[in-house]
Copies of this chain bind each other. A is one copy, B any other.
């Protein structure tokens, strides 16, 4: 892609498609669309995984690939405060893929469908040069209950579920030369990182609870905290400050740092594929939201910063010194 970035492309497409249309409550540009189907409200989203871009067939098991293709879509539904119901799985398959590989991939699709109580009801198959897994998902959300990226207000606190950076750490670990990695792949912390990369979790219940607790905006962290927060701020027309010392950096990244040149903070800020929920919420509501997530799901909720007037991201160190934070992260069109 020589002449545009992913965000530029998405912005162009939104302009092209942004006409008001009957039944459309949230159109292109959020984690998922929100539409009326009959008298009900549905959440619609699609995500495409392409061999050589999102995964490497030589290092991902087909079962993990199928699982992950479903989960990344579930995460988008969760980020609206919805619950997933139905999936469509379209596959592009090269000639060197055999039936057993495809059956394994569908095994992972089934695993994820069972895990998140959704039904895979169709899709399409085609020949292709490289493996393409395109999933579309339909979810449900209560009328008026969907949370977009656009509602953050100055003074809101920024919160994130779980921990950050582990999936990117798992990717580094799986791609490192065997000689550098030693026994890390089978260690407890190594397995944690690999699981974050190959068997990510979607925060469905957490998303619904946060929606009920009054979050003002929400997004799933798929392309890195900095980039996804910058998207939320752009949609809301606000700025944000992140306190670096408060980021819930995945503990296993300290171990990884011992064997690979991988900065834990950098992975947490820009690594991507965490699929945690990043939300903004009035200060008075943080405590109860945190308590409910811990109690119901055992999931930590960490306050990492605050929304301000203006635009752009700022990182604050422990002493309170601030510097601009580049909204960099995973761009599917970057080299």
Q: Are B132 and A92 within 8 A (Cβ)?
A: yes
Bound CA span A130–B52, Å: 12
- Nearest opposing residue in chain B for A94, CB measure: B1
Q: What chain B residues lie within 8 Å of A132 (beta carbons)?
A: 48, 50, 92, 128, 132, 134
Q: What chain B residues lie within 8 Å of A3 (beta carbons)?
A: 98-99
- Given A27-B119, A110-B17, CB of A126 within 8 Å of CB of B33: no
Bound CA span A10–B103, Å: 11
Q: Are B17 and A50 within 8 A (Cβ)?
A: no
Task: Identify which of B28, B54, B121 contacts A123 (C-beta below 8 A).
Answer: B28
Q: Are B126 and A129 within 8 A (Cβ)?
A: no
Q: Are B92 and A35 within 8 A (Cβ)?
A: no
Interface residue? A212 (CB, 8 A): no
Please provide the chain A residues from 24 to 74 with a CB less than 8 Å away from any CB of chain B in the complex. Answer: 24, 26-30, 32-33, 35, 37-42, 44-50, 52-54
Q: What chain B residues lie within 8 Å of A42 (beta carbons)?
A: 37-38, 42, 138
Q: Are A9 and B128 within 8 A (Cβ)?
A: no
Q: Are A27 and B121 within 8 A (Cβ)?
A: yes
Interface residue? A175 (CB, 8 A): no
How far in angstroms is the closest Cβ of chain B from A67? 14
Q: Could you say which of A82-90, A178-186, A225-233, A284-292 contacts chain B?
A: A82-90
Q: What chain B residues lie within 8 Å of A45 (beta carbons)?
A: 88, 122
Q: Are B103 and A52 within 8 A (Cβ)?
A: no
Interface residue? A102 (CB, 8 A): yes
Q: Are A102 and B12 within 8 A (Cβ)?
A: yes
Q: Are B126 and A50 within 8 A (Cβ)?
A: yes
Task: Identify which of B40, B50, B98 contacts A128 (C-beta below 8 A).
Answer: B50
Interface residue? A21 (CB, 8 A): yes
- Nearest opposing residue in chain B for A120, CB measure: B17
Bound CA span A32–B110, Å: 19
Bound CA span A171–B249, Å: 56
Please provide the chain A residues from 81 to 131 with a CB less than 8 Å away from any CB of chain B in the complex. Answer: 85-86, 88-93, 95-99, 102-103, 106-107, 109-110, 119-130
Interface residue? A140 (CB, 8 A): yes
Interface residue? A332 (CB, 8 A): yes
Q: Are B120 and A28 within 8 A (Cβ)?
A: yes
Q: Are B38 and A92 within 8 A (Cβ)?
A: no
Task: Identify which of B28, B91, B98, B122 contacts A33 (C-beta below 8 A).
Answer: B122
How far in angstroms is the closest Cβ of chain B from A106? 5
Bound CA span A312–B150, Å: 57
11 contacts between A and B (CB under 8 A): A1-B95, A1-B97, A6-B125, A12-B103, A22-B119, A28-B123, A32-B122, A33-B121, A45-B122, A127-B333, A134-B134
Closest 5 CB pairs of A and B: A38-B40, A136-B136, A21-B119, A33-B121, A134-B134
List 15 additional contacts besides A1-B93, A134-B134; criterion CB under 8 Å: A1-B127, A2-B98, A9-B102, A13-B123, A23-B85, A35-B121, A37-B40, A37-B138, A44-B86, A48-B126, A50-B92, A50-B126, A90-B134, A128-B132, A129-B130
